[in-house]
Chain A
Amino acid sequence: MLRLENIDVHYGATQVLWDVSIEVGEGEMVAVMGPNGSGKSTVLKAAMGLKKPSSGRVVLDGEELQGRSATVRPRRGMSIVLERRRLFPRMSVRENIMLGGYARPSAEAHRSFDWVLDLLPEIRPHLDATAGKLSGGQQQMVAIARGLMARPRVLLMDEPFLGLSPAMVKNVFAIMKMINGEGVAILFNEQNAKLSFAMSHRGYLLESGRVVLSGSGEEMLEHPEVKRVYLGVREAVS
């Protein structure tokens, strides 16, 4: 349903993505894995329209989105949970979540609000708290809730586990599974190969702005290159 075709992205004169093509099918969980600076955040921002590709296409359900403002995406069923949560820090949790439904008519937004709180009941006690004062894990919940308010059919998640405690990572992991179980496709990125591919239907490996490998989650985990470079290094470290 979501396709990025041959995307090139520049920051000023520096090119950061070369000819990146990524596909997310209906209800799929797809991981973009890569080391620091490989450009995986840029892939998501380009998909969301927050970063304008210099060439290539972004297509959602056959509709060309490339060149259109980021603000049309939530109306087309696509939303993003940005890296490091990026809540509106001096607004309440309730206001943050409600703004996630900005693109929808108010009655629908209120229905979404109830649906989101049913999915993530642990937010309920904090609704009137100031978002910036919550812990990192709580903020991630709120950020996910805000992303779900648009009732997306595909949710982009930029480094959803960054800076979270191991227990919280598990929690967020479970929530992603649950959201995906509701039929929401998820495209996320993550540095950790095991975490990325074990939980996803398909995965892409990004190195220096290029897709170097792609396949199903198991294929990626079993791939000798991934094993040697990413899983091997990781085991040596831990």
Chain B
Amino acid sequence: MTEVFGRRPFLVLALLAAALLVVPFLPLNDYVLHILTVFLIFSVFATGWNLTLGILGLKTLGHHAFFAIGAYLSAITAYYGGVSPWLTVWVGALSAAAAGVFIGFPILRIRSMPHVAIVTLAFAEIVRLVFSNLKDITRGELGFWGIPPFDPITVGDMTVRFGIGNAVGSFALAAVFFLAVHLALLLLLTSRTGLTFLAIRDSETAAESLGIRLSAWKLFAFGVSAAVVGLSGAVYAHYVMILTPTSTAGPEMLITLLAMIIVGGVGRFFGPIAGALLLTVLSEVLREFGDFRMLLYGLVIIVFVFVAPHGIAGLRLGRLRKAERAEPGTAGAT
């Protein structure tokens, strides 16, 4: 438990909330707020994926498909249906969850890491190509632009606007979204449900012998994970207001998110947040060297896999527990 959540997860979340609350009062320009907004959205994406990747121990590689599904379905419903993004984001999340269950069902019956990895990756490729090919609806790689931002909220005589160009409003929305999702997941994961997830990760056979219905649980976790990622995609769509299939469901998205999770710590609840912050900031700092971004991400992944396999979240723990290195040959292939 403490390995996944740390000692006081709710306190950490409260501290994060406090930090986010301070941000709008700091003398930051819109550009910095934009970067922080992107960081918050990607944190939710990373946390959602980490749910299957690390916490459930199911090595899926296609969660960018759910991000794209959430983003595009919410954007399409809002753009063509004229429905408020406040409602359509849920359409995006639910569609992603449905897709998660659809793709989760066949692979969950097989306890084979290669099957899970390859089938989810192939699914992401299908999703990218479908959004790319449905040019009449999405305009393909030219980009689906004109996506409406979230409707403004008026409190008293103050109106808060959202979408790109409205940095403070967008940041506040992303912060609320970030905190709400993490709080909800933390409540879910520290409940009996969460314990079941961890039991499954630690030993499928043991969990099964305790009467845990493996497939049903995994499917549920997969659905939740896809829904969270889909929701982050939808929020992203109405923030940046333009989408392309490759920027949402392409290989760079996979690499970026994988790097965030690995740097932060696979299977640590707060790990991906740290990873997302570090890599979002780093890639902005190195913005002039745009061509080197993927080179850097590739290198970062390799280095962390070798040097700090539990990410930054695991660095401190790792030192204490050097003694119990796993022995060669005991790790299973599946």
- A residues bordering B, Cβ < 8 Å? 10-13, 52
Binds A, one of B178-186, B281-289, B322-330: B322-330
Q: How would residues 220 to 251 of chain B score, 1 for a CB under 8 Å from any chain A CB and 0 otherwise?
A: 00000000000000000000000000000000
Contacts of A13 in B (CB 8 A): 324
Contacts of A11 in B (CB 8 A): 327, 330
Report the minimum CB–CB distance from A158 to chain B (whole Å).
17
Report the minimum CB–CB distance from A204 to chain B (whole Å).
25
Taking chain B's interface residues, is the majority helix, strand, or loop, or is none over half, making it mixed?
A: loop
CA distance A182 to B281 in the complex (A): 73
Determine the residue in chain B with the shortest Cβ distance to A54.
Answer: B327
Report the minimum CB–CB distance from B327 to chain A (whole Å).
6
CA distance A11 to B327 in the complex (A): 7
CA distance A109 to B327 in the complex (A): 34
Contacts of A10 in B (CB 8 A): 327
Whether B328 contacts A52 by the Cβ 8 Å rule is: yes
Report the minimum CB–CB distance from B330 to chain A (whole Å).
6
CA distance A11 to B330 in the complex (A): 7
- B residues bordering A, Cβ < 8 Å? 324, 326-328, 330
Contacts of A12 in B (CB 8 A): 324, 326-327, 330
Contacts of B328 in A (CB 8 A): 52
Report the minimum CB–CB distance from B324 to chain A (whole Å).
6
CA distance A13 to B328 in the complex (A): 13
Known: A12-B326, A12-B327, A12-B330. 7 other contacts (CB 8 A): A10-B327, A11-B327, A11-B330, A12-B324, A13-B324, A52-B327, A52-B328
- Listed by A's residue number, 10 A-B pairs whose Cβ atoms lie within 8 Å are A10-B327, A11-B327, A11-B330, A12-B324, A12-B326, A12-B327, A12-B330, A13-B324, A52-B327, A52-B328
Contacts of B327 in A (CB 8 A): 10-12, 52
Report the minimum CB–CB distance from A163 to chain B (whole Å).
23
CA distance A13 to B326 in the complex (A): 8
Which 3 pairs show the lowest CB-CB distances between chains A and B? A13-B324, A12-B330, A12-B326
Contacts of B324 in A (CB 8 A): 12-13
Determine the residue in chain B with the shortest Cβ distance to A10.
Answer: B327
Contacts of B330 in A (CB 8 A): 11-12
Report the minimum CB–CB distance from B202 to chain A (whole Å).
12
CA distance A158 to B217 in the complex (A): 40
CA distance A12 to B328 in the complex (A): 9
Determine the residue in chain A with the shortest Cβ distance to B328.
Answer: A52
Report the minimum CB–CB distance from B149 to chain A (whole Å).
52
Report the minimum CB–CB distance from B317 to chain A (whole Å).
15
CA distance A235 to B324 in the complex (A): 44
Contacts of A52 in B (CB 8 A): 327-328
Report the minimum CB–CB distance from B329 to chain A (whole Å).
8
CA distance A12 to B330 in the complex (A): 7
CA distance A86 to B327 in the complex (A): 23
CA distance A117 to B330 in the complex (A): 36
Report the minimum CB–CB distance from A220 to chain B (whole Å).
32
CA distance A10 to B324 in the complex (A): 10
Interface centre among B324, B327, B328, by most chain A C-beta atoms within 10 angstroms, is: B327
Report the minimum CB–CB distance from B322 to chain A (whole Å).
13
Determine the residue in chain A with the shortest Cβ distance to B323.
Answer: A13
CA distance A52 to B324 in the complex (A): 15
CA distance A12 to B326 in the complex (A): 5
CA distance A13 to B327 in the complex (A): 9
CA distance A10 to B327 in the complex (A): 8
Determine the residue in chain B with the shortest Cβ distance to A50.
Answer: B329
CA distance A52 to B326 in the complex (A): 12
CA distance A52 to B327 in the complex (A): 9
CA distance A215 to B34 in the complex (A): 78
CA distance A122 to B281 in the complex (A): 72
CA distance A10 to B326 in the complex (A): 10
Determine the residue in chain A with the shortest Cβ distance to B330.
Answer: A12
CA distance A97 to B327 in the complex (A): 31
Report the minimum CB–CB distance from A8 to chain B (whole Å).
12
Report the minimum CB–CB distance from B331 to chain A (whole Å).
9
Report the minimum CB–CB distance from A4 to chain B (whole Å).
18
Contacts of B326 in A (CB 8 A): 12
Determine the residue in chain A with the shortest Cβ distance to B331.
Answer: A12
CA distance A52 to B328 in the complex (A): 9
CA distance A168 to B327 in the complex (A): 37
CA distance A10 to B325 in the complex (A): 11
Report the minimum CB–CB distance from B101 to chain A (whole Å).
34
Report the minimum CB–CB distance from B61 to chain A (whole Å).
27
CA distance A98 to B327 in the complex (A): 31
Report the minimum CB–CB distance from B320 to chain A (whole Å).
14
